[in-house]
Structure 1
């Protein structure tokens, strides 16, 4: 019987003239459709293989964090340069204070670009439009921050810059080192945000009737604490080892969030500690 099988195999191999075509490998969808063990994690070794290509890989996450903070440093340097120009250069300071229309124009540009980058994933991920929109956003918010700083004393502006830098550096280091998962405290941030929003509305209603220093100081303290918490929250989203993480494709959104947090922390400290010019 064995000889019969061998002879039949020889007839098939030597009698056919066409070459044998190798089978086409299945696609990813076909391989995972039937919960194949090699993709479903049925074997213990699959976790190590999948981490090589997943977004949770340490090298990919490290490159992502480096890219975010590189862009953020450029944004902060641009903002610092514009603030220094508006604070130390008297002709520029007098011009922007005499023409508040530029402030409202920059506010409109800031609002449009912020909503575009925050809500539309297409422009946010498409190069080079994402970089162009982020640059316009940075210039508009830098102009607004510099104009507000021009109404305060130069020493108080420099003091608030130093305080902001120390606070942001401390929060960033603690966010990377602590084991507390701040990304799971979304409810606390939501309640705190509503409290600050109501306090801001109350301040807007009371301000035309008369200046209330304690209410203004309370609003500045609550705002500084809120955006410090947001800075810790957004920083831990970058790390990739918490309950909620951000995709490495969203480096523009991550940079945008941290930059806005730092700018708002500075403006609230300026309202709290800054002294206006005579």
Structure 2
């Protein structure tokens, strides 16, 4: 009786929609083994069968390094390479920001020039927002994208340097430690949640709406200053919004909602 049903194990496949589909194909055990070593397509990706995968692929899949369930080995490797590139650029931006900010803090003439000229300081605050447009337009034009990104980072670094020069060093250190702790913990949590299949893409519209309200409130505050309590509440809400953006952007890196360049 068993010989008549050699094809049965290869006739049942769990589809991506969650139900069983029966394929009455008369495979032999040898054909089933050969078929099992082939890559099958699911949800638009080629799923790697652990029986037919190479040793390196098996180690990668079994070590828990996959970004999310259902991703293929090739897509997983490509996505990790993209993530390393993104965080490498981010690290370079942080180093550049530190160098420029330290120069502004330690150079008294530069600090006095920026602090004493409110028009120049306001212009430097507006430059990052102006550069957002060429950053979007030339994000795939190398090396123009890196040049614009460098200008964006330097313009932000100058304002950060002025803020650090006119703020107590203890407060700056506290802000650095808190920021590093929050970013590290939220990034780690998002990667862990992605491995479990969680998706945070729904946060996009919520965060964008909150950011618009935050910007408008800041503009209103320039003409109608808020009290100390309101400023503290405003700062806390701002921190929560950008914490949400850390989770949302990290989720986009994991699931590939953005474009791999």
TM-score (normalizing by structure 2)? 0.66
Structure 1 residues 104 and 218: alpha-carbon distance in aligned structure 2, compared to 1, 3 A threshold: same
Partner of 1:225: 240
The answer to whether 1:203 aligns with 2:221 is: yes
Query: Matches of 2:140 and 2:169 in 1, distance apart?
Result: 39
1:33: which partner in 2?
Answer: none
Q: Which structure has more RCO (C-alpha within 8 Å, separation ≥ 6)?
A: 1
Q: More strand by proportion, 1 or 2?
A: 2
Cα distance per residue 1:57-83 (max 9 Å; x no partner): 111111101111111100011112222
State the alpha-carbon separation in 2 of the partners of residues 204 and 55 from structure 1.
52
C-alpha distance in structure 1 between counterparts of 2:219 and 2:230, whole Å: 11
Structure 1 residue 247 and structure 2 residue 247: aligned? no
Change in CA separation of 1:64 and 1:223 when aligned onto 2, cut-off 3 Å: same
Q: 1:108 to 1:194 in 2, by over 3 A?
A: closer
Query: Structure 1 segments of 4 or more deviating over 6 A?
Result: none
Shift of residue 202, structure 1, vs aligned partner: 3.9
Mark the CA change 1:216 to 1:56 in structure 2 (over 3 Å): closer, same or farther.
farther
- Corresponding position: 1:95 with 2:95: no
What is residue 89 of structure 2 aligned with on the other side?
A: 71
- Tell me the TM-score normalised to structure 1 length: 0.62
Unaligned segments of structure 2, at least 5 residues: 1-37, 48-71
For these two proteins, the number of residue pairs brought into alignment is: 196
Partner of 2:150: 135
Q: What residue in structure 2 maps to residue 150 of structure 1?
A: 165
- Contact 1:88-1:154 within 8 A present in 2 as well: no
- Which residue, out of 31, 41, 66, partners 1:47? 41
Whole-angstrom CA distance in 1 between matches of 2:232 and 2:73: 43
Secondary structure of 2:167's aligned partner: coil
Per residue, is there more helix in 1 or in 2? 1
How far apart in 1 are the matches of 2:203 and 2:114?
Answer: 41
Q: Distance in 2 between matches of 1:112 and 1:100?
A: 18
Which of these two proteins has the greater Rg computed from alpha carbons? 1
